[in-house]
Amino acid sequence: MSGTISVCCTACGRRHRYTAPSYPCACGAPVAPELDPRGAATEVTHRAWDEEWIGLRCAACGAESHWPRPELGCPCGTVLCVPVDPVATGRAGRVPGSRVPAHRAVPIRTARDAVTAAVLYLRGLGHRNVRRADQRPLSGIGLAAPGVVVQVDPTAGPVPARDVECLWLTAMAESARGLHFSLAGYAEDARARADLLDVPLFVLDPTGVPRPVNAPAVALDATAG
């Protein structure tokens, strides 16, 4: 089956077994990409990775949703893009024997996992059509859905106040609300600014669960289904 394949690291030659992640469709059924057992993994560079999304069609309801392309973090430090079957991807359906709870978390090993965790959380808030933002943020990855502009910062340093201000301005320009997700937390002045501007801040813990870290985020989290 192409739900699990062997992936060879391009840098160190280590082989990994990789199982396709399954994502929750809006209808609740799991959707998963078809992996290509004959394809070769390629190294992911930071310039390209946030632009690669795949469309997955739900076998149960026919809806198409977009998710970050699968990738794998090798212990040697290389991030690998997992080959996806280009023919089958458009009609990917159920992974045999798997059931995905509506709001599951993804363990965070790569920057893309951080994006996926944020997308899952946004869907829990009712934002079904999350896409990549047209405007790139100062750092990290920009996501957008009707009414919200989202910045995901997968870097290891605390988010500066400037990022919160820029996110707020971008959101204002689009009559949307800005939400920020960080792996490494926020600088003291960034938190103060976010409280002032009513920008919800979340920290993604390594298990992929977004934790609200200020009052606007706590209020928003209470509305998550």
Site size toward Zn ion (CB under 5 A) is 14
From residue 11 to residue 30, what is the string marking binding to Zn ion with x (rule CB under 5 A)? xx-x----------x-x-x-
Query: Which of 141/145 has CB closer to Zn ion?
Result: 145
Q: Does 9 bind Zn ion (CB under 5 A)?
A: yes
Q: Does 169 bind Zn ion (CB under 5 A)?
A: no
Which is closer to Zn ion, CB of 26 or CB of 184? Answer: 26
CB of residue 217 vs Zn ion: minimum separation in angstroms? 29
d(CA 136, CA 155): 16
- Minimum CB separation of residue 99 from Zn ion in Å reads 14
Smallest distance, Å, CB 159 to Zn ion?
29
| Ramachandran assignment for 223, one of left (phi > 0), alpha (psi -120 to 50 degrees), beta (any other) | alpha
Q: What does the alpha-carbon distance between residue 119 and residue 97 come to, in Å, rounded to a whole number?
A: 24
Query: Which residue matches tokens 């090993």?
Result: 109
Nearest to 177 by CA among 149, 156, 201: 149
SS3 118: helix
8 binds Zn ion (CB under 5 A): no
What b/e sequence results for 192-212 when a residue is b if at least 16 CB atoms lie within 10 Å of its CB, and e otherwise?
A: ebbeebebbbbbbeeebbbeb
CB-based contact 167:199 (threshold 8 Å): yes
Does residue number 78 form part of the binding site for Zn ion (CB under 5 A)?
yes
Per CB under 5 A, does 110 bind Zn ion? no
Ranges within 39-68 binding Zn ion (CB under 5 A): 58, 60-61, 63
Q: Binding residues for Zn ion, per CB under 5 A? A: 9, 11-12, 14, 25, 27, 29, 58, 60-61, 63, 74, 76, 78
